[in-house]
């Protein structure tokens, strides 16, 4: 090949290399936002799976997939027949125990005290009469006018009358004093136990109603009416609208560009013109290999750290698993964020 042709070919090759370098530089600048750190990840949210705290057959399911629910909203109910009956039984036992305690605290009625006194006085008359008969029988036995048998019979009647009178006297004293303090305390403890049983029965009856633990969107109905529910079996899956974050991965050599609390922006393919504000709320302390699902120009074998960018204004546009692009401005530093959108938002953490 002539020297002039070789020179021309060399010049064309140099121009091609220079053009390629300019093109790659321009593409890299666009991808990095003019020096901004660009990360790729997907949207993540928290979920809850509420379950009944009782065991039984599901009677009603009141919401469908996609329904927006509020905290405390009724979602489903169990057949509450057994629990309602247990609550009624516990309430009846409580009323009986309360009446028993009230009776002890009220003490003896005046009529009861009067009846005890009358019984004691009646036995006192019999006791005094038997005492006279016994003394007479002893005197007759000494003069041989009476028999030993009569004397012994008179003594037995006298002893029995005395014992009966003493028993009646003690009963009258007890009636006057009323119940013992220990008996009242025991009855009060029984009432407290009955109140606890009522509270437990009421709680079990209330647990036949499943209510939303937080505001959210129903993702899935796991059970249906007629299914057997238990505390170990979730009934729904509910997605929580807040906090909302993008899970991304940052290489080790870029850790200095992602301080906690620094602002960031999030974009998605579904809304190309929409930019969502956010902030870096989490940076994993442990390195890991790049997950295969992460789209990043770095080598797949490079060590990366998981990062979460919490989104301030998702407005329902961002959904679980949606691919997203995170951009962090060069030299980003933690800033004072608006209320509910920044490091001060403890709930988002």
Question: What pLDDT does residue 15 have?
Answer: 40
Residue 266, pLDDT > 70, answer yes
Q: CA 204 to CA 209: how far, in whole Å?
A: 9
Does 243 sit behind a cis peptide bond, omega within 30 degrees of 0 on the bond before it? yes
Contact 187, 97 (CB under 8 A): yes
Locate the domains of the chain by residue range: 35-45+242-348, 51-78+209-234, 86-203
State both tokens at 55: 């065991």
CATH top-level class of 35-45+242-348 = mainly beta
Say which residue, 240 or 342, is predicted with more confidence.
240
Residue 12, pLDDT > 60, answer no
- Percent of the chain surpassing pLDDT 90: 38
DSSP, res 105: H
Other Cβ atoms less than 10 A from the Cβ of 309: the count is: 28
The model's pLDDT over 80-113, given as tens digits with 9 standing for 90+, comes to 999 999 999 999 999 999 999 999 998 888 888 8
Distances (CA, A) of 133 to 120, 141, 165: 20, 12, 17
Q: pTM for the full model?
A: 0.62
Question: What pLDDT does residue 348 have?
Answer: 39
Binned at pLDDT 50, 70 and 90, residue 51 comes out as very high
Q: What is the mean pLDDT of the chain?
A: 82
Phi and psi angles of residue 61, each rounded to the nearest 5 degrees, phi first: -120, 120
The model's pLDDT over 183-194, given as tens digits with 9 standing for 90+, comes to 999 999 999 999
Say which residue, 136 or 213, is predicted with more confidence.
213
Domain 51-78+209-234 is found in CATH 3.40.50.12240: no
Phi and psi angles of residue 288, each rounded to the nearest 5 degrees, phi first: -150, 165
What sign does the CA torsion over 12, 14, 18, 21 have? Answer: positive
Question: What pLDDT does residue 344 have?
Answer: 46
Residue 243, pLDDT > 50, answer yes
Contact 293, 271 (CB under 8 A): no
Of the listed ranges 12-16, 132-136, 144-148, 172-176, the least confidently predicted one is 12-16
The model's pLDDT over 269-286, given as tens digits with 9 standing for 90+, comes to 888 888 999 989 888 888
Residue 198, pLDDT > 90, answer yes
Q: CA 322 to CA 268: how far, in whole Å?
A: 8
The distance of Cα 173 from the centroid of its chain, to the nearest Å, equals: 55
Distances (CA, A) of 159 to 119, 120, 165, 173: 18, 16, 10, 21
Q: CA 68 to CA 244: how far, in whole Å?
A: 16
Q: CA 311 to CA 317: how far, in whole Å?
A: 11
Question: What pLDDT does residue 14 have?
Answer: 38
Question: What pLDDT does residue 31 have?
Answer: 40
Question: What pLDDT does residue 132 have?
Answer: 87
């Amino acid at each position: 090949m002539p020297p002039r042709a070789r020179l021309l070919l060399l010049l064309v090759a140099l121009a091609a290399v220079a053009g390629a370098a300019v093109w790659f530089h321009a593409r890299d600048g666009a991808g990095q936002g003019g020096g901004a750190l660009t990360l790729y990840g997907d949207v993540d949210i928290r979920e809850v799976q509420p379950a009944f705290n009782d065991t039984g057959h599901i009677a009603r399911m009141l919401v469908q997939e996609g329904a927006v629910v509020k905290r405390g909203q009724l979602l489903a109910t169990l057949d509450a027949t057994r629990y309602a009956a247990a609550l009624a039984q516990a309430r009846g036992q409580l009323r009986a125990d309360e009446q028993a305690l009230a009776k002890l605290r009220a003490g003896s009625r005046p009529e009861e005290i009067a009846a005890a006194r009358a019984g004691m006085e009646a036995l006192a008359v019999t006791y005094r009469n038997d005492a006279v008969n016994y003394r007479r029988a002893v005197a007759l036995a000494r003069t041989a006018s009476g028999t030993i048998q009569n004397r012994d019979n008179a003594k037995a009647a006298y002893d029995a009358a005395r014992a009966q009178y003493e028993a009646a006297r003690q009963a009258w004293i007890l009636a006057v004093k009323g119940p013992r303090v220990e008996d009242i305390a025991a009855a009060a403890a029984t009432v407290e136990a009955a109140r606890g049983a009522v509270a437990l029965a009421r709680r079990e009856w209330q647990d036949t109603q499943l209510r939303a633990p937080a505001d959210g969107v129903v993702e899935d109905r796991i059970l249906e009416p007629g299914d057997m529910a238990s505390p170990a079996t979730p009934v729904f899956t509910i997605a929580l609208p807040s906090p909302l974050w993008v899970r991304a991965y940052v290489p080790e050599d870029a850790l200095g560009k992602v301080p906690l609390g620094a602002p960031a922006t999030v974009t998605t393919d579904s809304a190309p013109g929409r930019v969502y504000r956010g902030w870096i709320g989490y940076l994993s302390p442990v390195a890991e290999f790049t997950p295969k699902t992460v789209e990043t120009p770095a080598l797949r074998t490079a060590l990366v750290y998981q990062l979460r960018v919490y989104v301030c204004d998702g407005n329902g546009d961002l959904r679980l698993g949606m691919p997203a692009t995170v951009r962090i401005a060069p030299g980003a530093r933690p800033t004072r964020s608006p209320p509910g959108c920044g490091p001060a938002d403890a709930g988002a953490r």
